[in-house]
């Protein structure tokens, strides 16, 4: 039950597409992540996906359009909707998913959940 | 299914302690709010309370200590824990609570939930 400084948490790691849990909220992991390049197309059948951009510009590609997010902008990908995050530069995000959600939508390919 | 610019949403209203829902996420309202002055002591028996400060400095008083949050800092008040937000200046926050949660912890005194 401590306050969380998101910038300090982001400074503790440098690998991309490997979210760090900074706290939990109602059964969800609240995470920070660094992105660079294109992630894979995936969907989460059981959960919405919460993105808030803290630094950089993030494209969230959907099958029919692309949502471009700058710092201070957020987007919720509804459950079941295919999406692909693409960072054309280093991007920092706040990400919320239920604890245990594989970041790729597939436990076989998901990054291990780490704590910062 | 639109992106949300938090600053634009905050610019649409000026009243304090009256959160605006900007989107929903897994049964939760994602809200922005402006605070100024002291709110009331309250607790939420059924939910954690998510605060992320976007502007200004917010004290979250707990019964045994005070957590002071600057922009980019967040805090989760666990369910059942009494707290009182105190803003010594105008503060902007991102707030997440399950849809329907009274902001005072009591439906009788809660601000009507509004949409921005």
Q: Which residues of A touch B78 (CB under 8 A)?
A: 1
Residue B81, CA atoms < 13 Å, CB-side half-sphere: 18
Domains in chain A (CATH in brackets) are 6-103 (2.60.120.10)
Dihedral in degrees, nearest 10, Cα atoms A51, A104, A79, B112: -30
8 Å CB contact between B103 and B110? yes
Q: Under an 8 A CB cutoff, do B50 and A25 touch?
A: yes
In tens, the pLDDT along A76-102 reads 999 999 999 999 999 999 999 999 889
Q: What is the CA radius of gyration of chain A?
A: 13
Give me the interface pTM, i.e. the ipTM: 0.93
List for chain A the helix, strand, coil content (%; round to 5). Answer: 5, 50, 45
Distances (CA, A) of B76 to A5, A30, A33, A107, B51: 12, 10, 19, 28, 6
pTM of the model: 0.95
The CA distance from A98 to the nearest CA of chain B, in Å, is 9
Q: What are A6-57's pLDDT values in tens digits?
A: 999 999 999 999 999 999 999 999 999 999 999 999 999 999 999 999 999 9
């Amino acid at each position: 039950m401590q306050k969380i400084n998101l910038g300090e948490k982001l400074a503790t790691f440098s690998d991309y597409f490997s979210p760090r849990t900074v706290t939990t909220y109602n059964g969800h992991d609240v995470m920070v992540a660094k992105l660079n390049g294109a992630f894979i197309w995936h969907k989460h059948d059981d959960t919405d996906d919460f993105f808030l951009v803290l630094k950089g510009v993030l494209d969230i590609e959907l099958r029919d359009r692309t949502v471009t997010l700058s710092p201070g902008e957020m987007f919720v990908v509804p459950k079941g909707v295919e999406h692909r995050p693409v960072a054309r530069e280093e991007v920092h995000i706040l990400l919320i998913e239920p604890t245990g959600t594989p970041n790729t939508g597939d436990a076989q390919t998901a990054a291990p959940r780490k704590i910062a």
